[in-house]
Structure 1
Amino acid sequence: MKNNNVKKLVEISLLIALEIILTRFCSINTAILRIGFGFLPVAIIGMMYGPISAGVAYAIGDILGMMIFPSGSFFPGFTLTAFLTGVVYGLVLYKKPKTWGRIILAVCIVCLGINLCLDTVWLHILMGQGYLALLPTRILKVAVMIPIQTILIGIVWKKIVIKIAKPSEIIA
C-alpha cells in the first residue's frame, strides 16, 4: 500500500514537471492569449488518478511555474482555473472508458466553460478591457485548441500511456 502511494506521488510529480515545461517553454504567449500543451499531463493525471489529484496537481503546477518562471504578476484566478481544469478532466475521464466522445466532452467543457468564459473574466479583471472586447481572440483560440487537445489527449492515451502502464492500473 505504501509503495503504491509513493509510486503515485512520483508519477504525478513527474507529470507536474512536464506540465510546467510544456506551459512555460512550449507555448505561444501574448498579453491575452496562451496556446500551449500543458493540458496534456493534467488530462493524463485526471484519467489515471481522478479529479482531486488532477486539480491539485495542476494548481501546484501553476503556482510552481509562476514562482520558478514568472511571466507577470501572480493572479489566483488562473490557479482556480487550473484546479477546475484538472477536476473536469478527472470527473469526465477517470474510471470511465476513454472514448473519443468522452474526450471531446471533457475538452469542450474545459475550453468553452473554463478557458473561454472564466479566463476571459480574469483577463477582464486584470487588464480592465471589456469582456466582449476580449472574446474574439479567445474564441479563435478555443476553436483552434478543441481539435488539437482532443486529438492529442486521445493519441497520447491510446498510443503511449496504455503501453507504458500495467494493464491492471488502467481502466480502458
Structure 2
Amino acid sequence: MELEYIYLIVFIALIMLLRLRRQKKGYKASTARIFRYPAIYIVLSLILVASAFNIVIFAVALLAILVGYAVGTIFGSKSSIFYSNGKIMYRRSNEIFAIWLAAFVARIVIEFMLPDDLGLQALTTTASSAFSGIGFWYSLVDILLAFSAGMLLGESIHLYRKYKNAKHDGSA
C-alpha cells in the first residue's frame, strides 16, 4: 500500500473518531450550527451526483433527499437538547448518525476499491450503465449520501424547534 493511502486512511479515521466523540458529547446549540452540516452535506451530495452528468441519477438523488427529509423528521424526535455548563447543547439521533457514517465510509471505500476513471466513465454515459457494474456502486452510495443528508435536514427541523423552545423557556 502506498504511503499516501496510509496517510489518507489515518486522516479519515481521525475525522471519524472526532465526529464520534462529538456525537457522544454533543454540540453547542445555535441556529447556524444546527443547520450547517445538513446544508453542507446536501450541497456536497448534489455536487457528487451532478458531476456524473446523468439527469436520472440527479433526479433520484433529489428524491432521496426528500425521502430522507421525511424519515429524518420521524427519527428527529430522538435528537435532544440539554444544558451543559450553562450552555444549550444538542445531540443528534444515533440512528441518523449511524446511517450518515455508513454512507460516508462506503463512499471512501468505493474510492479506494474502484478506479476513478472507470466509475466516472460508467456514470457519465447512460442511465442504464449508471445502474450497472461500477456505475451502480457509485450511484448507490451517492444516493445513500443524499438520503442521509435529507435525514440530517429533517432532524435539524426538530432540533431547531426544541432549541427555540429551550431558549424561550430557559429549560431544555
TM-score, normalising length from structure 2? Answer: 0.32
Task: Write 1 or 2 for the structure with the bigger share of strand.
Answer: 2
Q: Higher relative contact order at CA 8 Å, sep ≥6: structure 1 or structure 2? A: 2
